[in-house]
Amino acid sequence: MKPAYPHSTGAASYKVQENWKISTPWLVLWFLLMVEAILFFQDSQILVNVVFWTIAIFIPLQSLYVGFESFVIDTVFRTKPKIGQDFQSDRWEMIEFTGWGGYEPMGYFIPAQNKSKGLIIYMHGYGSSSANGESRMMHINEQGYDIGCIDMRGHGRCDLTKDWTLLKVIADIESFLDKLAESYDELPTKIHFYGHSAGGLVALRLSSRRSGWWKNRLKSVMLESPVASFPMVIEFLIGPHLKLLKPLVRRIIRREMERIHPDLSVRWDDSRVPNIGLPNLPIIVLQATNDELLGRKHFDLLSKSLSSRTKNKLILIDELAHTSSKDCQRRRSLVKEWIGVEENDC
């Protein structure tokens, strides 16, 4: 396995994780099973019977907890990949690069057809892929911009699904940006991020902790129906019927994050706005008025943090749906206007 890509350490975590770490519930379960196996061969005395039945009751309870722990970890830290569609344009170039932990995801790049006005990095959402957002990227490419993107781990053509975290995705994008720089004779002076859904949370984290050659070249962030709180997503994935178990869910997730990213002090509040990061850059938020997946909670949370900043725009679009497989003319016009204005301001 190759070492982690070394050049950028701004927004993510880079220490290699422990492959497995035994938890107290597992230790207790195996201990109880061992004691019960020993008692099975003992004489039937009253004390032995009491201990035997006490342990026999605790083993199912302990097994329920271990099963619930496995359910939470599988739900939050393992993706269920769907390959999805391929790119339609034959102008896309495939970029091989080394991401977090030495793995090699695949990136994609399409240059402007004429003189480039800059570079836009597109970040797709959870359960989607870069190819699903091709129409959005091609529209921006037609405005004279180079476009770069990657498939998140466990998405599109990337099959790295185990121990999935947004921080690994962020580290991959930082590495991709460094690799992309090698494609240029002269580095672009203007860069914009475009984050859709969970890609919006990635874009916020990256843009608020900039590093590397693009640190001072990033000019704005575009967010489409963005996720503003990973805890809200977790609560959605786990389901409302487990609301009373929220403290237990938080404990399981925190412990697993500490195993995967031992170089970080992981806290629940760190994975939502504003703590995850808000860049001192112009931000435009294009939100589906009737978001069929996220509703308005994420938009409202983001609005509270951005409303006091004069250069930011938060726009509700009636015709827009959450999915990247659908588009509308109003979104395209607003994006075209935004990158045109930002270009003139820079």
Exposure of 65 by Cβ count < 10 A (0-12 exposed, 13-18 middle, 19+ buried)? middle
Question: Following DSSP, what letter does each residue of 31-66 receive, concatenated?
Answer: HHHHHHHHHHTS---HHHHHHHHHHHHHHHHHHHHH
Q: What is the pLDDT of residue 56?
A: 72
Question: How much is the pLDDT for 2?
Answer: 39
In the prediction, which pLDDT does 36 show?
Answer: 64
User: What is the reported pLDDT for 134?
Assistant: 96
Paired strand residues for 150:
107
Digit-by-digit pLDDT tens for the chain (346 residues) are 333 444 445 677 666 666 666 666 667 767 766 766 666 666 656 656 666 666 777 778 778 888 898 999 999 999 877 666 789 999 999 999 999 888 888 899 999 999 999 999 999 999 899 999 999 999 999 999 999 999 999 898 888 888 899 999 999 999 999 999 998 999 999 999 999 999 999 999 999 999 999 999 999 999 999 999 999 998 888 887 777 888 899 989 988 888 888 877 767 788 899 999 999 999 999 999 999 999 999 999 999 999 777 689 999 999 999 998 889 999 999 999 999 876 666 5
* CATH 3.40.50.1820 for domain 93-242+265-345: yes
Which residues are bridge partners to 108 per DSSP?
94, 149
Edge-to-edge strand ranges of the sheet holding 93-96: 93-96, 106-110, 146-150, 119-123, 191-196, 218-224, 283-288, 313-317
Contact 107, 137 (CB under 8 A): no
